[in-house]
Amino acid sequence: MATSTPSAGKRAGKQLHLFGFVIHSPMNHTVGSWRHPRNNSLGYSFAEPEMWQEVARTLERGKFDGIFFADQLAAYSTYRGSRDAALRHAVQFPIQDPLLLIPMMAASTRHIGLLSTLSVSYYAPYMAVRKLSTLDHLTKGRIGWNIVTSFHQGEALNMGLEKMTPHDERYARADEFLEVCHKLWNSWEKDAVVMDRAGDVFVDPTKVHEIEHRGKYFSCPGFSPVTPSPQGHPVLIQAGASGPGRDFCAKWAEGAFTIQLTGRALASYAEDIRERARRAGRAKVPKVIAGIQIIVGENERAAREKQEELNELVSVEGSLALLSGHTGYDFSKRDLDTLVEDIQDLPGIQGLFEVFTKMHHEKVSLRTAAALYGRSVAQPQIVGDPEQVADQLIRLAEESSVDGFNITPTYTPGSFAEVVDLVVPVLQQRGAFRKEYAGTTLREHFEQTE
Amino acid sequence: MATSTPSAGKRAGKQLHLFGFVIHSPMNHTVGSWRHPRNNSLGYSFAEPEMWQEVARTLERGKFDGIFFADQLAAYSTYRGSRDAALRHAVQFPIQDPLLLIPMMAASTRHIGLLSTLSVSYYAPYMAVRKLSTLDHLTKGRIGWNIVTSFHQGEALNMGLEKMTPHDERYARADEFLEVCHKLWNSWEKDAVVMDRAGDVFVDPTKVHEIEHRGKYFSCPGFSPVTPSPQGHPVLIQAGASGPGRDFCAKWAEGAFTIQLTGRALASYAEDIRERARRAGRAKVPKVIAGIQIIVGENERAAREKQEELNELVSVEGSLALLSGHTGYDFSKRDLDTLVEDIQDLPGIQGLFEVFTKMHHEKVSLRTAAALYGRSVAQPQIVGDPEQVADQLIRLAEESSVDGFNITPTYTPGSFAEVVDLVVPVLQQRGAFRKEYAGTTLREHFEQTE
């Protein structure tokens, strides 16, 4: 993460945007983290609201922009063609609906943004708009939507679909989905709700407009069942990685979320998204947010020990279940002692394997590569004392020109409290992070520049 | 409501079950109630959580079994073939998603049950189970599901469906839907989650079972993405009115909800549901819950004045929009001065019109009948001082053999506070309602007998 890029320095004096990156599951992004002695220290199940409400209060105390829920709907079953390893190691499974957890977190906070993944594959646009606009009202404008198209065959089958939409068509379909959503969000004029008690008029019907959408994938004649919400629509986040995915992100998103192991890769991604957004004629380019993991200790040695302790929890089997699930390739077919540099027939994963090899300064076996993947799903681990972590974050943001970080926890909720209590004050002293929220909505936080 | 029935007395000494009957909308079941000077007295919009949290705390203070959300997804547009009247008079519209409000109400209460309508027409069983089981975990077992099949063409069109499933087939489909849900709820053995930290086993994969469902309407190979929730599954409520609807209710429901204007009609409904349940081989027959409205004052005269004040808010146009929406018949085609006894070509609504005529002891015009419908959607208005109201409730329950009431508010949240503060203590003195919750889950409340 040492390489300067053409964008370096652009962020000077600018504020970072920080999010907590979680999953409504016993495990977040570190395989085996549920086993950590300090995980779930409040003694409540991940399935109950208490731990999540504590996470929300903690990150709000730290003035975070928001809490960002990844999501999936079914257990990974690519590895050995079975879901056994995913179940045994709680690999992002069991997994509860984050949309329903968000109101419980909203009820115990006042400022922090709350972002959920919602797949355009499993909701009609009308239903998605109803849910997101309801949430935006209930939270008084704190909702963000991570738009995904879904890649997971097991989800589609359980939802009763015969097969997945092919990848490129998924984005054409998602494009029309977003078009319908925006039509619905704009179907009410801002002053349509008049609430004239004496005149007996709640809504002026002439200010609500049928969208009459009939497209290739969707049909929706009516208007939103929900009045215009505080933010108008949720803050739109997207994490497209492929070419069509990046174009989709550049066209619609306010925030582009990415996972890249190196500063160089981050810089290249950020530059590409901004360029695609400019080509798409966007007035504002999406802010780029990078996934990372922070392991902070009172001194560097303590932090390294924590890192070791954490990484030792990562089982190879759980990691292979995750890696196989994410890539769609069953790694049980390979000898775990194979050096990853000798695996030449999996172009989609080769770049990742090369980075692992470079980072380790030695030849890496498939067994080791899987465990590296299981540590944080290929998100950089930022390790050190509070100053070291803060400086690394600032440097990484400057070098890569990203606008902020989505911070995946180690143990929950304790590791978030450490970031808030130890790292945030240093970032604030360095002038790199807000001391107070300037506004009340997620969009206001996300656009806050000082 | 004076006629004794063969079931009379069966309930002697038994406890009533009480629910608040609401809609996540500016209006509940009384057209124009949003205009009442005491409606929404906290000053928050219906779209925000505060008023609903107050409702939840109030009804919990009153030891109610639960809060029951009706739902629909689109504005009624049968009347004049237009949604103008529904919008103008806020006829159960705009309408927000109750599933997302429930967690906010759960966050501010500890005991009261929370029940939502969820349509089997717009969710896959896998998605419904995920949502309901997530909610049951988050509320520690306080969730109920009002199962509906949906009758509203406008909903189907906005959800992108070309047409509604025909009525009888809807219940065949709903039957299979419930079958899949139960398979998913049973897909985890109770001790599947072992959380063995040392052994690195979160779930014992041999205790989670694929359901391999392939039916006429649904396909779902996998297992629930959510672990067994506190109640196993939500308390199942159903309000089927037709023959197939009643059979469906008798087969699956723990609670049968009905709206009938007279004690005689209630008794006949309750008897029929119990008979159908026995024929279906149910060990426990569903409890029967009747929709009513309570208007209570410090004395009878004050109560009557409140009733007058409330009923005057009911516009004929709003009521016609509701009546036309519910019946699917556009009443703008009729002269409002027609006596309803002369309307002979609408068999579905004729029974209701006859009751209105009998209740008013005089000939009723369509205009008057519509307004009567708009008062409380054909739910009896129980009016009087606290003792009178309590005695009427007890008598109605005894005469009709129903197990409890779903109480629709007039103004919100104030009318709920009046029921809790004025009527509940009398019911408790009469030995007809619990003084304390005996359990913590909705099912425990619903099965509590003293």
What are the pLDDT digits (tens) for B52-61?
A: 999 999 999 9
The pLDDT of residue B157 is: 94
Residue of A54, A133, A137 for testing the chain B interface, max B β-carbons within 10 Å: A137
Chain B positions in Cβ-Cβ contact with residue A74 (cut-off 8 Å): 222, 225
Q: Is-contact B131 B117, C-beta < 8 A? A: no
A189 in contact with chain B, both atoms CB, cutoff 8 A: no
Query: Per the CB < 8 Å rule, is B225 touching A122?
Result: no
Residue A366 lies in a domain: no
The pLDDT of residue A233 is: 98
Q: Is-contact B207 B192, C-beta < 8 A? A: yes
Residue B331 lies in a domain: no
* Chain segment B74-96, per-residue pLDDT in tens: 999 999 999 999 999 999 999 99
Q: Is-contact B143 B69, C-beta < 8 A? A: no
The pLDDT of residue A282 is: 96
Query: Per the CB < 8 Å rule, is A100 touching B135?
Result: yes
Tally of domains in chain A: 1
* Chain segment B101-118, per-residue pLDDT in tens: 999 999 999 999 999 999
**pLDDT confidence band for B2 (50 / 70 / 90):** very low
Specify the CATH number for the domain of residue B72. Answer: 3.20.20.30
Cα dihedral angle (A375, A380, A381, A383), rounded to 10 degrees? 170
The pLDDT of residue A13 is: 64
Determine the Cα–Cα distance for residues A65 and A50; give it in Å rounded to an integer.
21
Distances (CA, A) of B347 to B103, B201, B329, B350, B351: 42, 62, 11, 5, 7
Q: A154: which DSSP letter?
A: H
Given a cut of 70, the residues of chain A with pLDDT beneath it are: 1-13
Looking at every residue in chain B, the average pLDDT score rounds to 94
C-beta pairs of B352-358 under 8 Å, 24+ apart in sequence: B352/B261, B352/B378, B355/B261, B355/B262, B355/B265
**pLDDT confidence band for B13 (50 / 70 / 90):** low
Query: Per the CB < 8 Å rule, is A137 touching B106?
Result: no
pLDDT of residue B433 exceeding 80: yes
Residue B312 lies in a domain: no
Closest-CA distance of chain A to residue B238, Å: 23
Residue A191 lies in a domain: yes
Distances (CA, A) of A355 to A7, A260, A351, A360: 22, 10, 6, 8
The pLDDT of residue A29 is: 94
Residue B347 lies in a domain: no
Residue A144 lies in a domain: yes
* Chain segment B126-173, per-residue pLDDT in tens: 999 999 999 999 999 999 999 999 778 899 999 998 777 777 788 999
Is this structure's pTM higher than 0.80? yes
Q: Is-contact B46 B26, C-beta < 8 A? A: yes
Point out the least confidently predicted range of A204-218, B126-140, B270-284, B342-356: B342-356
Q: Is-contact A39 A420, C-beta < 8 A? A: no
Chain A positions in Cβ-Cβ contact with residue B76 (cut-off 8 Å): none
Chain B positions in Cβ-Cβ contact with residue A90 (cut-off 8 Å): 202-203
Residue B58 lies in a domain: yes
Q: What is the mean pLDDT of residues B264-275?
A: 97
CA Rg value for chain A: 22
The pLDDT of residue B237 is: 98
The SS3 of residue A257 is: strand
Determine the Cα–Cα distance for residues B3 and A198; give it in Å rounded to an integer.
42
pLDDT of residue B450 exceeding 90: no
The pLDDT of residue B41 is: 87
Query: Per the CB < 8 Å rule, is B88 touching A26?
Result: no
The pLDDT of residue B163 is: 72
Determine the Cα–Cα distance for residues A105 and A52; give it in Å rounded to an integer.
7
What residue numbers bound the domain in which B10 lies?
6-294+378-447
Chain A positions in Cβ-Cβ contact with residue B315 (cut-off 8 Å): 200
